[in-house]
Amino acid sequence: MNRRESLKYLAAGSIASGLLLSGCDWSNPEEVEKSLWKYKYGRTAAETDHDNSLLAQQFFTQAELAMITRLAHLILPANEIGDIEKAEVPELIEFMAKDYPPFQDPLRNGLATLNQRATEAFGSDFLNLEEPNQHALLEPIAYPNEVSEELKEQASFFNLMRNLTLTGYYTSEVGIKDLGYQGNQPNVWNGVPVHVLQKHGMSYDESWMPKFLDVSRRNDKAEWDENGNLLT
Q: Is the dihedral of CA 19, 20, 22, 28 positive or negative?
A: negative
Mean residue pLDDT across the chain: 83
CA-nearest of 170, 163, 182 to 84 is 170
Residue 23 has pLDDT above 90, yes or no: no
Query: What does the pLDDT average to over 85-105?
Result: 94
Q: Which of 29-43, 47-61, 153-167, 176-190 has the lowest mean pLDDT?
A: 29-43
Query: What does the pLDDT average to over 200-213?
Result: 81
Total count of domains within the chain: 2
Residues 103 and 218 grouped into a single domain: no
- The domain containing residue 76 runs over which residues? 3-179
Residue 59 has pLDDT above 80, yes or no: yes
Q: Tell me how far CA of residue 42 lies from CA of 47, 73, 120, 153, in angstroms.
A: 9, 30, 48, 37
Please tell me the predicted confidence (pLDDT) of residue 91.
93
Residues 119 and 227 grouped into a single domain: no
Please tell me the predicted confidence (pLDDT) of residue 219.
72
Please tell me the predicted confidence (pLDDT) of residue 99.
93
pLDDT in tens, 117-157: 999 999 999 999 999 999 999 999 999 899 999 999 999 99
Residues 211 and 160 grouped into a single domain: no
Residue 211 has pLDDT above 60, yes or no: yes
Residues 88 and 121 grouped into a single domain: yes
